[in-house]
Amino acid sequence: MDDEYHRMEGEDIWSSEGESFVMRFKLEDRTGLILVFAADPFWVQEGTICPTTEIYNQNFEVIKNDNCSIDVLNYNCEKKDYKYSLQIVDDSTPPRPYPCDPTIQNGGGGQNFICQRILAGKES
């Protein structure tokens, strides 16, 4: 994902203005716990506190979850910072959670019909 528009800094993701993009997260399980992404793998909210429950945000959409990797479409509609939590579980019954909580710094200005719908809804 590192290019002139997007980069990872530690666990943080940064995006410039005007670009929607797909974020791919891949598990490289070296724990021996048989970790996988949960059915609801990506929780995200605006602000400085990581979500502790499943939260839907229309600026983001999980478009693929094959348990070992997820693809999340970031519409990048508005210049905001988001905290997110990747929901990872082991294969025990019931599964034990192992959340991961990095940050997204959106540059805003994504130009597509989804952003237009999202931003139009905020104006009404």
- Give residue-wise pLDDT tens across range 97-111: 988 876 677 776 665
Task: Please state which CATH number belongs to domain 6-123.
Answer: 2.60.40.10
Render pLDDT for 73-97 as a digit per residue (tens, 0 to 9). 988 878 888 888 889 999 899 999 9
Q: Which helix (H) or strand (E) holds 116?
A: helix 113-123
pLDDT at 39: 93
Q: Averaged over 38-44, what is the pLDDT?
A: 93
- Across 10-14, 56-60, 94-98, the highest mean pLDDT is recorded for 94-98
Whether residue 27 contacts residue 35, with contact meaning beta carbons closer than 8 Å, is answered with yes
How many whole angstroms separate alpha carbon 56 and alpha carbon 76? 15
**How many percent of the chain have pLDDT more than 70?**
70
Q: Tell me the average pLDDT across 8-25.
A: 67
Please report the pLDDT score of residue 119 as a whole number: 55
114: pLDDT strictly greater than 60? no
pLDDT of res. 15: 63
Q: How far apart are CA 85 and CA 105, in angstroms?
A: 14
Res 96: pLDDT: 92
Q: Where are the domains of the chain?
A: 6-123
